[in-house]
């Protein structure tokens, strides 16, 4: 069976694509195996999608190996002497691990498990969680996005509340993917609505985009602020004002 070529192989002069040693997939790069599983289910695998359901235990290590090999090819194409420059000798593996295990990890691991509590005492009481530190990356340049998020929840009697620390863990899980800020806040709001079933939910994100600072216009002070208002936060301007007044964005 011929080995299916991936686009990165075109620049990978020395890179040998990692093989997977299972009966069904021998000779096929692991990323292609995973991609076929996703396509078989007609699922989406955009940069900000979670694909953990298609990854088997132990495969993330194999993915790190494959990314490291291809990252090495990128360094070679950038004409960097990784053999003699000791600073870049292990850069390909460091970057691969950083992507798969840290900054884009929210694509590859399951959603954090949430303990839910019945809402016995907080009926109709505005809850504000934040600021939650956000570390993400833009899907256009893979440049860092560093910022803060505030979440407002107006629970109902039927709402299942989640522990305070879980808001941070859920936020981190959504943010550790390449994406654009406008979509990230919507995804977080959708998830909170689904989990908590509140009367209203609000998310405000305030972030520095390094693709505006490190490159591009090099404007150090430019920030992006997004807000998503749902349910009661959309209909009730007093509630919205109360929430926005209580979050301290200084």
By CB under 5 A, name the binding residues for Zn ion: 138, 140-141, 143, 211
How does DSSP assign 95-139, residue by residue? HHHIIIIIITGGGTSPPPP--EEE-SS-TT--EEEEEEEEEEEET
Backbone region of residue 173 per phi and psi (left: phi > 0; alpha: psi in -120 to 50; beta: other values): alpha
Q: Which lies closer to Zn ion via its Cβ, residue 137 or residue 199?
A: 137
CB of 145 to Zn ion, least distance (A): 8
CB of 142 to Zn ion, least distance (A): 8
CB of 141 to Zn ion, least distance (A): 4
Q: Is 179 in a helix, a strand, or coil?
A: strand
CB of 173 to Zn ion, least distance (A): 21
Q: Which lies closer to Zn ion via its Cβ, residue 128 or residue 142?
A: 142
Residue whose beta carbon is closest to Zn ion: 211
Q: Which lies closer to Zn ion via its Cβ, residue 17 or residue 181?
A: 181
Query: Exposed, middle or buried: residue 79 (CB in 10 Å: 0-12, 13-18, 19+)?
Result: exposed
Residue 138, beta-bridge partner list:
179
Q: Which lies closer to Zn ion via its Cβ, residue 117 or residue 214?
A: 214
Q: Give the list of residues 6+ apart from residue 22 with CB closer than 8 angstroms, or none.
A: none
Q: Which lies closer to Zn ion via its Cβ, residue 138 or residue 203?
A: 138
CB of 88 to Zn ion, least distance (A): 24
């Amino acid at each position: 069976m011929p080995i299916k070529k991936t686009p990165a192989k075109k620049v990978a002069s020395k890179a040998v694509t990692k093989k997977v040693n299972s009966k069904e997939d021998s000779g096929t790069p692991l990323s292609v195996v995973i991609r076929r599983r996703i396509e078989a289910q007609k699922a989406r695998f955009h940069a900000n999608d979670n694909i953990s359901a298609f990854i088997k235990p132990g495969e993330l290590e194999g993915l790190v190996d494959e990314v490291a090999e291809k990252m090495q090819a990128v360094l070679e194409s950038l004409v960097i002497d990784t053999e003699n420059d000791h600073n870049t000798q292990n850069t390909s593996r460091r970057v691969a691990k950083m992507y798969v295990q840290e900054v884009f990890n929210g694509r590859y691991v399951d959603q954090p498990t949430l303990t839910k509590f019945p809402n016995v005492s907080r009926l109709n009481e505005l809850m504000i969680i934040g600021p939650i530190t956000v570390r993400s990356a833009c899907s256009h340049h893979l440049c860092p996005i560093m910022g803060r998020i505030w979440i407002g929840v107006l629970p109902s009697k039927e709402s299942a509340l989640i522990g305070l620390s879980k808001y941070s863990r859920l936020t981190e899980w959504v943010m550790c993917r390449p994406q654009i800020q406008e979509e990230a806040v919507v995804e977080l709001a959708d998830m909170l609505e689904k989990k908590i079933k509140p009367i209203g939910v609000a998310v405000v994100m305030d972030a520095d985009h390094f693709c505006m600072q490190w490159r591009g216009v090099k404007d150090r002070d430019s920030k992006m602020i997004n807000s998503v208002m749902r349910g009661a936060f959309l209909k009730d301007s007093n509630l919205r004002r109360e929430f926005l007044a209580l979050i301290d964005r200084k």
